[in-house]
């Protein structure tokens, strides 16, 4: 999908999506996306929900909240003009040779990964014939290059080949994509927020892959008739006149964008006390969570929440707000158990913190 096409397509405003009640499924999903935008190192979001619950709509609405980014003109990897860690080899070479680079602003990229995509389409491919005949590394960048410094969205990720999911998660975690073919190796920056969605009826991801997503949000079909009617009406109004509908929510969108920009700036100043970190680890231990990802993601998400709310120190309530999203998918599944994993996380939290919501 070209960048031009994605910019022309009307996008449903993020702030108009109903379900604003505190701690409801939709508001928690929206929160998990916002926290990942504030701190991409949280590790992305996996969204599981019924068909037709607006998973794709919410994700695509997110990109409108992101500020434009500075990139090097005519660079295929959205290279950062000032940060060497986010530059392609070509841009680094130009700087080394004291060549001038032009800087332009573009909308934060959002790339959709189609279900039938091949590894070459995702990672990019090397033109071996050209490399041999001309002696140059002829590389055709893939979707990971397009998504650098933006969002990569994979709908029906649970139907994607496990090997491909592994490649995506590796790149998302390391921030780099390496392609090796016939003795030729290409490496380029690939720092993106990975968002996956799927329908649990069509199968779950393997636990090893699921654990690699930072947060896990669940969304079910709305049952209340008045909310269902409101959702249908909102959608009809948007489809009738997208520009007018978006203009109605412009002020709210701008305020939310400002909050996100400010949170990104203040995130580094947010503090979390050692005893709170110890309690997070105690919860992970009590729940038999494998590895340390759960501990790290929970503390990162809590700090991002504090930055979003323009505060400076993490409280137990902040941890309670995010911990289910961070740990629910890391619990070992017992097919005979009927207790929801989110409920188990909350109970473990209340026991360790002696906390009542």
Element (H, E) at 196: strand 192-198
Note the pTM of the prediction, 2 decimals: 0.86
Kindly compute the dihedral angle of the four CA atoms of residues 173, 176, 177, 182, in this order, to the nearest 10 degrees: -120
Q: Which domains does the chain have, with CATH numbers?
A: 3-68+107-219 (3.40.50.300), 270-353 (1.10.8.80)
Pair 285, 48: CB distance under 8 Å: no
Pair 220, 53: CB distance under 8 Å: yes
Pair 103, 73: CB distance under 8 Å: yes
Provide the pLDDT for residue 3.
Answer: 43
Calculate the alpha carbon distances from 26 to 134, 200, 276 in Å. 54, 17, 27
Answer yes or no: 51 catalytic.
no
pLDDT along the chain (357 residues), means of 10: 49 75 68 93 88 80 87 90 86 88 90 86 79 69 91 87 84 85 79 88 76 87 79 86 88 92 95 96 93 93 96 95 93 64 88 79
- Residue showing tokens 């959702």: 231
Which residues share a beta bridge with 126? 139
Q: Which position among 60, 191, 212, 293 bears the catalytic label?
A: 293
Provide the pLDDT for residue 26.
Answer: 72
């Amino acid at each position: 999908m070209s960048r031009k096409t994605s910019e022309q397509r009307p996008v449903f405003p993020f702030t108009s999506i109903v379900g604003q009640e505190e701690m409801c499924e939709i508001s928690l999903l929206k929160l998990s996306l916002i926290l990942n935008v504030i701190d991409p190192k949280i590790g992305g979001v996996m969204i599981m929900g019924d068909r037709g619950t607006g998973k794709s709509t919410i994700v695509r609405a997110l990109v409108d909240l992101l500020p434009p980014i500075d990139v090097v003109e005519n660079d295929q990897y959205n290279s950062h003009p000032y940060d060497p860690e986010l530059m392609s080899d070509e841009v680094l070479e130009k700087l080394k040779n004291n060549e001038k680079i032009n800087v332009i602003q573009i909308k934060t990229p959002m790339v959709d990964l189609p279900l039938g995509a091949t590894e070459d389409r995702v990672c990019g491919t090397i033109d071996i014939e050209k490399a041999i005949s001309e002696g140059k590394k002829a590389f055709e960048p893939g979707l990971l290059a397009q998504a650098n410094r933006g969002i990569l969205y994979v709908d029906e990720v649970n139907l994607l080949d496990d090997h491909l999911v592994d490649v995506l998660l590796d790149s998302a975690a390391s921030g780099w994509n390496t392609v090796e073919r016939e003795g030729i190796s290409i490496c380029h920056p690939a720092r993106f927020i990975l968002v996956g969605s799927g329908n649990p009826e069509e199968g779950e991801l393997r636990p090893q892959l699921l654990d690699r997503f930072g947060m896990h949000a669940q969304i079910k079909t709305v049952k209340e008739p008045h909310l269902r009617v409101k959702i249908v009406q909102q959608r009809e109004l948007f489809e009738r006149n997208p520009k007018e509908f978006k203009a109605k929510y412009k002020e709210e969108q701008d305020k939310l964008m400002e909050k996100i920009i400010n949170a990104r700036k203040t995130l580094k100043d947010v503090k979390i006390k050692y005893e709170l970190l110890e309690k997070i680890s105690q919860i992970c231990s009590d729940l038999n969570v494998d590895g340390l990802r759960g501990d790290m993601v929970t503390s990162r998400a809590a700090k991002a929440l504090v930055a979003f709310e323009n505060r400076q120190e993490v409280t137990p309530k902040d941890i309670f707000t995010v911990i289910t999203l961070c740990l629910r998918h890391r619990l070992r599944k017992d097919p005979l158990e009927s207790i929801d994993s989110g409920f188990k996380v909350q109970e473990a939290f209340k026991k360790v913190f002696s906390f009542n919501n």
